[in-house]
A and B are shown apart, each in its own frame.
Chain A
């Protein structure tokens, strides 16, 4: 039941190719790092794999079939900026229950205090918000989690806490985990495999 990208290419409207000829595969239970400096197309690849964008060339396959357009997506993406990923007019309770109803154990493992549920997004820090976004993405139907610079702007303690909880859940549910980051040290800690976009063949990147 792998998630595959076959010779995927992408560019915005009339822009240059951001990603081209990119192939990738991940199996459940695997943790793969996606490393690359700024502008190397990491986030675009993350968005393509999660179905946020449609590839302009090639295809993304889940279990050998194209990604479902409707319904709860088995591939969930956690975005870099949590403050943009929550509705500013919703209390966090509404945000976290948007997809599913996590139990108290999960909430505790992410260090979410019950008091936060009735708060508005502008009353919490991005670290606190990001925990909500991660839990929201970890619904029962999720099989692959893509973390796009998920903890880049957080302090070391918060980073450790969030990753520890995510890794525990991923191991228990046999989730596939794609960690997008420009921090090699983070990726080295727990990734089974690291795809380095810097050394990736980018000769196919030509202006459209």
Chain B
């Protein structure tokens, strides 16, 4: 038993050795660099991979992964690698639009809650609690279904559900700033509300906002894939990763494991890289939290 314990420890220290001799900042920068490169590769793949790879070609249908078709081919002879990269790009685009809209909602509501008086604050806080209290997926399905599915329904659904946590952070931040000495001094120097908001408040909020935005991506992408998989989201004409996965389900029982395995894995890797990117940027911008 002790022997397995030791080997366990050894395995752990091996992983640490990858970053050995570097300080936290270097590690952070390397993590950011690697994830950015990976995400850029996915986007670049969308433009470099030829659309011919995903035209129907029955001669090479149902091929397992090989050097030519890295992720194998499907029942119509389409290259799964190309499909996966293009699917990831659709998911990425939908996720980006949705999380950007969501972050803007969070910014507006967060700032107005903190500055427009008690009644607005009460309303916004109530809304935040309401949206946090209901499972995301349920509301997204409801909205996407009510809007007749398609890309619009997904974007609205994801955007409307993902703002509360960021709004809460921004509200707290603005409230703290509002009572700061230098803001009160600026008021007494005759600066307008607008001037104070743009010169004093926004520069403080910008890092929070952008990191919040990046950390929203993985959620938005996962939820998009989730409801597309369930059939409430994107239609089969826009083959996002959720569509690819749900179509593959039918062929899994015939032993074509690569149809779901690689796209699923790729989705996981992309979502995780966004997560790593966001948390490492947070370490970079907000050194106070660096040891958390």
Contact = CB atoms under 8 A, between A and B. Distances in A.
Interface of A: 50-52, 70-73, 76-77, 79, 81, 84-87, 89, 95, 98-99, 133, 136-137, 139
B185 interface: yes
Contacts of B182: 84-87, 95
Nearest to B207: A89
A51 to B, nearest CB: 7
Interface residues of B, number: 13
Contact of B188 (A52, A81, A89, A133): A52
B181 A73 contact: no
The B interface is mostly helix, strand or loop, or mixed, namely helix
A87 B200 contact: yes
Nearest to B188: A73
CB-based closest 10 A-B pairs: A72-B190, A99-B189, A73-B188, A85-B181, A84-B181, A71-B190, A87-B182, A85-B182, A89-B203, A79-B181
Given A84-B180, A85-B182, A87-B182, A139 B188 contact: no
B190 A73 contact: yes
21 contacts: A52-B188, A71-B190, A72-B189, A72-B190, A73-B188, A73-B190, A76-B188, A77-B185, A77-B188, A79-B181, A79-B185, A81-B181, A85-B181, A85-B182, A86-B182, A89-B204, A95-B182, A98-B186, A99-B189, A136-B189, A139-B189
B177 to A, nearest CB: 10
Most buried by A among B181, B185, B189, B191: B185
B184 interface: yes
Nearest to A82: B181
Given A81-B181, A87-B200, A70 B188 contact: no
Nearest to A76: B188
Contacts of A79: 181, 185
Nearest to A133: B185
B185 A85 contact: yes
A89 B190 CA distance: 20
A52 B180 CA distance: 12
Most buried by A among B182, B190, B191: B182
Interface in B161-197: 180-182, 184-186, 188-191
Contacts of B189: 72-73, 98-99, 136, 139
